[in-house]
């Protein structure tokens, strides 16, 4: 199994036409991390994970996931300082574990980015639908949810998604859901539309600037702080009782098993902190600034997540939060006096989620590009547009697949798949640090993970434990995806690998 030598990776980096200027300080890196982390997790999945798995104890789930990210983040920081080219887990795996593991992690990252873009798009759809409704424009329900989603009309005239919680509530009231008026969703059209628009823009060369990122961070954090500050005045402490709801008898549904399952599901909320590690080549002092950037952004985001979760589950009972726009629901529950806050919250969520979709859809084609240049995917995936200088074929493929996923799958399935894929990637990065410390101790490491092997092993174990508590069907989907990937690797990638061919020729 060929390895891609670190020396070769560094040589490729140094031979690039443009070198990167070391201009980012601690605050820039923290801002970058917060901007990448704050997105669908806080605006969407917080409420859904609370409703389905943990109740108000979702705050404990955020702490567990934050610890896992801190361990993985330190490992990313060492790799980023040692191999400062793209901060890609695919590249790290190629250097430390060989081509087969590189393929596995690359294929896993495809799952992560494709489904992440779709997940965020579904959250974006929830907020845009809510915002348009506020201004008098209502999109028919059958075009605002995953294909096959059932809505029922309640006695008060409102339409609700018919899920297990609602069915249980109706049964307790002596109401047979089958006798209520139903609507079945066709597809989530707004989610598909935003992916189409952003993919089209990316083909012609849309670029994010540091100033744009800083504006988005200020906007998102400011609005979140406003929600927290005002929301605590509307908290009903009865909604926090019991803080840890009793387990339903099924593992993963409330109780401590539900807390751990929620931790795995909302791990999606922390995706993006590794964006800090990709900036190692631009950090003024990576040895000192990288840990501050990674751990600082994680710390700030974790505190914000906990405060939002407390406010949200205090304002709205957790059983009513299984929606695509839980923060909007929280604002609506504050009463008529908070009407002025509704458009602000929703517009901030729409803008913030749009930027996250852009990042996800930008990242995926670059992974295709890297893998195709290594020969593991056909050259078609690495085609660059002659005029726009963008990986347009990869962008088109990513956009089409993400559109379909966003249109037909519910957000909980999408989010769980992204979480399990990311946890798997982080576990491999942690293990890779331990392997490289043993096999290549002489390598220059501008930043070193402390307490090796404890932190890498702990990081990998915490990630694996969170994976273990995810639903069985999520594991089955991961296995199917990985099995498909291995078929492609042994059918095409292994035979066409650039390093593999060179090794066989020698």
- DSSP code per residue over 43-67: IIIHHHHIIIIIGGGHHHHHHHHHH
Cis peptide bond prior to 242, omega within 30° of 0 = yes
Structural domains in the chain? Answer: 6-140+187-505 (1.20.1740.10), 150-184 (no CATH)
CA distance 209 to 454: 38
CA distance 212 to 73: 24
Q: At what angle do helices 189-203 and 341-373 cross, to 10 degrees?
A: 50
CA distance 27 to 425: 27
One digit per residue, the tens of pLDDT, for the chain of length 506 reads 677 777 777 676 565 544 445 666 777 778 777 877 787 677 777 888 898 899 999 999 988 888 888 888 888 888 877 776 654 678 777 877 788 888 988 888 888 778 888 888 888 888 898 888 888 888 888 888 888 788 888 877 777 777 777 777 778 777 777 778 888 888 899 999 999 988 888 787 645 444 565 677 778 788 888 889 888 989 999 999 889 998 888 878 889 989 988 887 777 677 777 666 656 656 677 667 777 888 888 888 888 889 999 999 999 999 888 876 788 788 888 877 777 887 888 888 887 788 778 777 877 787 788 788 888 988 888 787 777 667 788 889 989 999 999 888 887 777 778 878 888 888 888 998 998 898 888 888 888 899 999 999 999 998 888 788 788 888 888 899 999 999 999 999 888 888 777 766 66
322 touches 161 (CB < 8 A): yes
* pLDDT for 60: 93
Owner of token pair 């923290």:
30
CA distance 158 to 440: 63
Helix, strand, coil % in the chain, rounded to nearest 5: 70, 5, 25
User: What order of strands is seen across the sheet that includes strand 182-184?
Assistant: 159-161, 150-153, 182-184
* pLDDT for 22: 61
CA distance 57 to 239: 11
Distant-in-sequence, close-in-space partners of 57: CB < 8 Å, separation ≥ 6: 243, 244, 245, 258, 259, 262
Burial group, residue 461, by CB count within 10 angstroms (0-12, 13-18, 19+): middle
**DSSP designation for 243:** S
> Which of 365-377 are b and which e, b meaning 16 or more Cβ less than 10 Å from the residue's Cβ?
bebbbbbbebbbb
Residue 448: strand, helix, or coil: coil
CA 115 centroid distance within chain:
8
């Amino acid at each position: 199994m060929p390895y891609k030598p670190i020396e070769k990776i560094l040589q490729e980096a140094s031979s690039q036409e443009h070198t990167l200027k070391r201009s980012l300080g601690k605050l820039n890196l923290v801002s970058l991390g917060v901007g990448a982390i704050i997105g669908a997790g806080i605006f969407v999945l917080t409420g859904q994970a609370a409703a389905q798995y943990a109740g108000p104890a979702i705050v404990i789930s955020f702490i567990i996931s934050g610890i896992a990210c801190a361990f993985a983040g330190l490992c990313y920081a060492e790799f980023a300082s040692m191999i400062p080219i793209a901060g890609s887990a695919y590249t790290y795996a190629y250097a430390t574990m060989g081509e087969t593991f590189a393929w596995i992690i690359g294929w896993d990252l495809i799952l992560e980015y494709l489904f992440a873009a779709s997940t965020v798009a579904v959250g974006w759809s929830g907020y845009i639908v809510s915002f348009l409704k506020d201004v008098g424009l209502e999109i028919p329900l059958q075009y605002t949810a995953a294909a096959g989603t059932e809505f029922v009309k309640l006695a008060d005239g409102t339409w609700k998604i018919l899920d297990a919680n609602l069915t249980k509530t109706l049964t307790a009231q002596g109401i047979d859901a089958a006798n209520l008026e139903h609507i079945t969703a066709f597809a989530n059209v707004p989610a598909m539309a935003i992916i189409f628009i952003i993919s089209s823009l990316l083909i012609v060369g849309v670029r994010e600037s540091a100033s744009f990122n800083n504006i988005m961070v200020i906007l998102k954090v400011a609005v979140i702080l406003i929600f927290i500050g005002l929301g605590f005045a509307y908290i009903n402490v009865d909604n926090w009782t019991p803080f840890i709801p009793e387990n339903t008898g099924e593992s993963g549904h409330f109780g401590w098993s539900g807390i751990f399952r929620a931790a795995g599901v909302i791990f999606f909320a922390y995706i993006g902190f590794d964006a800090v590690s990709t900036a190692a080549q631009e950090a003024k002092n990576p040895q000192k600034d990288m840990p501050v950037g990674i751990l600082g952004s994680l710390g700030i985001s974790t505190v914000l997540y906990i405060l939002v979760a407390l406010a949200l589950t205090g304002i709205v009972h957790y059983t009513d939060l299984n929606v695509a726009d839980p923060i909007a629901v929280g604002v609506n529950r504050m009463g008529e006096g908070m009407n002025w806050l509704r458009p602000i919250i929703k517009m901030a969520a729409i803008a913030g989620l749009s930027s996250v979709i852009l990042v996800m859809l930008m990242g995926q084609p670059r992974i295709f590009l890297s893998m195709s240049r290594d020969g593991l995917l056909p050259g078609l995936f690495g085609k660059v547009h002659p005029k726009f200088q963008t990986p347009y074929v990869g962008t088109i493929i990513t956009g089409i697949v993400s559109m379909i996923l966003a249109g037909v799958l519910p957000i909980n399935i999408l989010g769980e798949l992204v979480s399990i894929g990311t946890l798997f990637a982080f576990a491999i990065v942690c293990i890779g640090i331990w392997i490289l410390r043993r096999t290549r101790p002489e390598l220059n490491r501008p930043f070193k993970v402390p307490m090796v092997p404890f932190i890498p092993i702990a990081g990998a174990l915490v990630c694996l434990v969170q994976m273990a508590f995810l639903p069985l069907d999520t594991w089955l989907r991961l296995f199917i995806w990985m099995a498909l990937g291995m078929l492609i690797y042994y059918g095409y990638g292994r035979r066409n690998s650039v390093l593999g061919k060179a090794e066989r020729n020698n």
